[in-house]
A and B are shown apart, each in its own frame.
Chain A
């Protein structure tokens, strides 16, 4: 049995029919072919599948692990994935900071790291290093040792236009 849902992803509206067991992560990757959202542990521990979600009537742009959300439960939500961050060919200040600070190595954790950081800076525009580390606690990186990631987020927070998405 498939259930009809409507998702707005990176400002585009999609009408889909999905089986109830499918996760938002699975639908983003396999139905919408947005493969920047990665499947790591598939159990909410690694943060590679993090996206920003706004449910109707709820606070905007919450970072969530999309492997833990059933697609049917995301019906009506507005989603931002890593593909939706850049504007008019311009990288988001956090993306730019990750490039400039060498905060990307293999790149698998990067989309989740950046989207979590977007949510973090929206809530706390000028975090301390400890607050950045606590904010990124749900995102695992096995390459960088985190130092450069934390530097990148702190650098972006000092930037005048670390403007949050939508």
Chain B
């Protein structure tokens, strides 16, 4: 069947969308920003029998923040919205940073958080920062609503924990934690219009204590690697080396080496496995040094 033959469906409510997805099963594809879907349909890589456009469902494009409960990003929030949001820039700058480094202005204006996560590219720029901030996916399906921690959301390239008929409706990020700072470092040959060869997000929490004598102890840490495994990957053994410990250069170096060991990179056109592993070590070390020495907020 040519991609030219598909049914276009335009649900006006979440219930209607879920019913359509359940009814059409694997034949259906969700249309959000379209930057992946439309291209894959043009190339013939995907040939869905029907396309369910979720853009008319009210509320899915909202950014909501509450100092107590945290951030809720509707699935249709675009990368541009995220990069520009003052709320996000103030309370979760790592998310604005990840979104602002994606593709081009034109694509950031179309591409959505939901699409970036559900397409489950190992290199997706929003995944490592959201996992570092302990985000979770809010999923609605025929059996109601459930939450999936984002570090359990990705199962493989293009594969997520979404069951047939389920829709990602939002991403939730807990309230900013005092003493936590986070950073996303992306390695790619070009500064724009390029996907990550390696992406590293680190969130480091230290006991909240005002300058000039910041506490050197690591209360908690998340080290999340992008583009070096079939899914965005938490370097849990690296995290364990640092958690609860005094932060010094030696321990940072040890943590970075462990993260490089935990990576499972492949050779491809963008970089060799060897290079990627070296870059993981470098970027994790750089991220931890910047978070410890520098003044990176949140």
Partner-B contacts on A (CB < 8 A): 1, 3, 19-21, 23, 42-45, 47, 50, 55, 58, 62-65, 67-70, 72-73, 116, 119-120, 123, 134-135, 137-139
Q: How extensive is the interface on chain B, given as a class?
A: 20 to 34
Say whether B192 contacts A70, CB under 8 Å.
Answer: no
Of residues 1 through 52 on chain B, the ones whose CB sits less than 8 Å from some CB of chain A are 3-8, 10, 31, 33-35, 38-39, 41-42, 51
The verdict on A68 contacting B105 (CB below 8 Å), with A21-B3, A73-B34, A137-B192 known, is: no
Stretch in B106-114, B116-124, B266-274 with 4+ CB within 8 Å of A: B106-114
**Set of chain B residues within 8 Å of A139, measured between Cβ atoms:** 104
Write out the residue numbers on chain A whose beta carbons fall within 8 Å of the beta carbon of B42.
42-43
What is the chain A residue whose CB lies nearest that of B31?
A73
CA distance A83 to B71 in the complex (A): 41
Provide the bound-state CA to CA distance between A42 and B43, in Å: 11
The 7 listed contacts between A and B (C-beta, < 8 Å) are A42-B42, A45-B193, A47-B106, A65-B110, A119-B105, A137-B104, A139-B104
A23: chain B residues at CB < 8 Å are: 38
Contact A64 B106 (CB under 8 A): yes
Q: Which residues of the partner chain A approach B109 to less than 8 Å between Cβ atoms?
A: 62-64
Residue of B nearest to A72 (CB): B8
Given contacts A23-B38, A50-B106, A119-B105, list 7 more A-B pairs with CB under 8 A.
A21-B5, A45-B193, A64-B106, A68-B39, A70-B38, A73-B55, A138-B106
Q: Which residue of B10, B41, B105, B191 is within 8 Å of A21 (Cβ)? A: B41
Contact of A138 among B7, B34, B39, B104 (CB under 8 A): B104
Contact of A68 among B61, B80, B110 (CB under 8 A): B110
Partner of B110, one of A20, A64, A116: A64
* B contacts, CB < 8 Å to A: 3-8, 10, 31, 33-35, 38-39, 41-42, 51, 53, 55, 61, 80, 84, 103-107, 109-110, 191-193
Nearest 3 pairs between A and B by C-beta? A138-B104, A137-B192, A20-B8
A20 with B106, Cβ < 8 A, contacts A69-B38, A70-B31 known: no
How far apart are the CA atoms of A48 and B51 in the complex, in Å? Answer: 26
CA gap between A120 and B105 in the complex, in Å: 9
Report whether A137 and B193 are in contact in the complex, using a CB–CB cutoff of 8 Å.
yes
A159 to chain B, nearest CB (A): 21
**Which B-chain residue is minimally distant from A120 (CB atoms)?**
B105
Judging by beta carbons under 8 Å apart, are B34 and A69 in contact? yes
Chain A contacts for B10, CB-based, 8 A: 72
Q: Nearest CB to that of B43 among chain A residues?
A: A43
Q: Are A21's CB and B6's CB within 8 A?
A: yes
A63 CA / B80 CA spacing, docked (Å): 11
Question: CA A54 – CA B227 in complex, angstroms?
Answer: 34
Contact of B104 among A1, A20, A47, A62 (CB under 8 A): A47
Beyond A21-B6, A47-B104, A62-B109, whether A68 also contacts B193 by CB under 8 A is: no
Least distance between A91 CB and chain B CB atoms (Å): 23
